[in-house]
Structure 1
């Protein structure tokens, strides 16, 4: 798997890392959305094809032939899985900035131009993320990824709020990619975001520059929610030593809130009993204080969900926010 690129002087090069597996219905739109970005930069694309079996490989190969030197099609000799796939293309990619994009998502016009300008104006920031429009498999809009306000988020802020950054919007300085490659797999995108935030805060804009496909076939969140929970916990656990005791407790309470609502939707009270000892111990707070903190988180989330459901009913709209912050 060899990929080469020429970096033109005076213009930044953006290495776009696209992972795909059986995305035949989506991958052409995905790559077209990258190649059509109007930006004063050289945009090179590395597509990690994890032995797709549905025709995805043929589609990517045709696009690579149409864009020689711009699109690099990397077909792995064996299945690597999502993280192995990302690692392979991140290692191969060359550029001043690295962007991540899942093969079933798309970029909206102006995405790279907005982020490159923002990072140029904030040299101390390690990365940039944007909001996303959320749509279903039929490309029907269903809402927004997050209601978070634009700002600069350090590690403590990301731990307090939990994961609200859209991974397909991620753009970071290439000097920090070794930090990503050093992470022991498996891990989720939240671990990447926290790791990058340790190198410098992350710029976030509430303007949506990504089209995010929710619950697409092949999504890890759809396939294995328990694995995601485990990796989410590991991401928090590894980041906590760098923050204050209060932030530690807030991060643990936020995660337990997520577990609570997941247990409600699955009707599995055992999830609470499984995670309570781990999170209570990790929080460092007394049992009564941590219970009170978690209760406030659950009540606040319940109110947010009730307000959203009521608004959708009154407005007869199905648009919603995936991650309230």
Structure 2
């Protein structure tokens, strides 16, 4: 694999390093640090290889017969709905090739038989990937990750077996937009939310939520993704080699959107072209709200370290809203939480609030620019150098997490204010040189 240890044995991809994809444009100030110099060189090689592989042209060269669009259809015990989902894909009006990759998690009903019947009728379009054993709820994302490894198209869409598309021109419109607007990484639309218990249908309304058609990365973080999975067509930025963070058990569609949000903006078409069905047999419908909230909280925390410090403030804002919503639901009696769960949400609320309040005014944490990751690494190394000079015997025992705490708690001390000023001057000087 492109991201495996065979190619980069000194790079721990699955260790959730905050340096993984954060750009480090100018490593020259780190020339006196052997570890950071090697790290910068390794990340530079990784990003160069990733960029070269992730272009649409290279994907075509790897497989000249690859379709224009790949559709991943994720199923588990969806015998009542799978036919409608497949028909909604097959009815798409298009002038390009597509493939439908059905990823089934060892269904115990007749879902696999229905899929095989469709494959017999459309062998050139439908591919089946059936698990021999059920991976279960907590490992659902591992199943999705395997599906990502089958996507050969220049663009891809995701759909669950109990959802469906409502507009036959959905793929055609979204692909046409992405073809003509290369600065966007994905195209989404509104989604109809259907309740099978008789409640009236609702809309996912990302257009009204944003008040505009364009969603940037901070929007995706602060508003928890907002787009439903069935509504999005993505550029295939990773080819057949998705990053292994997508295999994490706590990853989800929100994390997928944030991951691709690093490469460009999302565009929203102001009409609904897909339907999301809410019923008792759904993956999340079978779990209580407490389990779902804890699941997403763990995912946010792990992905925050993956994304790096650049989005800490936005992640903190999302965690604050998430925790307050859960605690308020408990107070109103809508979702009683165990004492242990309440303590977890209170702890996240306090820590995220502290990080957000203290770090928001600091340019180090709020600046948005290509040199951001580099500045963060520089200030961490600067503080580590001071520790090494004053406490050489214990410097190696101090993790970077304690240095981050130092930055947060000592923000108003003159020495740290002086460090911020010198960091600003250094950044300005680097920009002038470039």
TM-score (norm 2): 0.59
| Contact 2:166/2:275 (8 A) holds in 1 | yes
Alignment CA distance shift 1:140-1:106 (3 Å): farther
List runs of 5+ in structure 1 lacking aligned partners. Answer: 1-5, 290-325
* Matched residues, number: 280
Instruction: Give 1:151's aligned residue.
Output: 213
Deviations 1:56-83 (A, max 9, x none): 1111111110111101122121213422
2:228 is aligned with 1:170? no
1:236 equivalent to 2:278? Answer: no
1:269/1:58 CA distance change after superposition, 3 Å? closer
2:320 is aligned with 1:253: yes
1:125-181 deviation digits (Å, cap 9, x = unpaired): 222222111112379851112342452222211222223210122221112354454
Matched ranges for 1:4-83 at <5 A: 13-81=68-136, 82-83=140-141
Contact 2:73/2:159 (8 A) holds in 1: yes
Asked if the contact 1:160–1:251 (Cα under 8 Å) also holds between the matched residues in 2, the reply is: yes
2:73·2:103 contact (CA, 8 Å) conserved in 1?
yes
> Equivalent residues in 2 for 1:251-290 (5 A)?
251-263=318-330, 264=332, 265-268=334-337, 270=339, 271-283=341-353, 284-285=355-356
Residues 1:78 and 1:123: Cα distance change in structure 2 (over 3 Å):
same
- Cα distance, 1:54 vs. partner? 1.2
C-alpha separation in 2, matches of 1:194 and 1:272: 27
SS at match of 2:144: helix
Q: Which of 165, 173, 185 does residue 126 from structure 1 map onto?
A: 185
Partner of 1:117 in structure 2?
176
Distance 1:248 1:218 in 2: 27
Q: What is the alpha-carbon distance in structure 1 between the residues aligned to residue 329 and residue 225 of structure 2?
A: 15
Equivalent residues of 1:132, 1:144 under 8 A apart: yes
Name the one with the larger strand percent: 1
The 1:45–1:286 alpha-carbon spacing in structure 2 relative to 1, beyond 3 Å, is closer
State the Cα RMSD in Å: 2.7
8 Å contact from structure 1 (residues 176, 199) kept in 2? no
Residue 146 of structure 2 aligns to a residue whose secondary structure is helix
Gaps of 5+ in 2: 1-62, 361-434
2:323–2:348 contact (8 Å) kept in structure 1: no
- Indicate the structure (1 or 2) with the bigger Cα radius of gyration: 2
Q: Displacement, 1:206?
A: 3.4
Q: TM-score if structure 1 supplies the norm length?
A: 0.77
Secondary structure of the residue that 2:345 maps to in structure 1?
helix
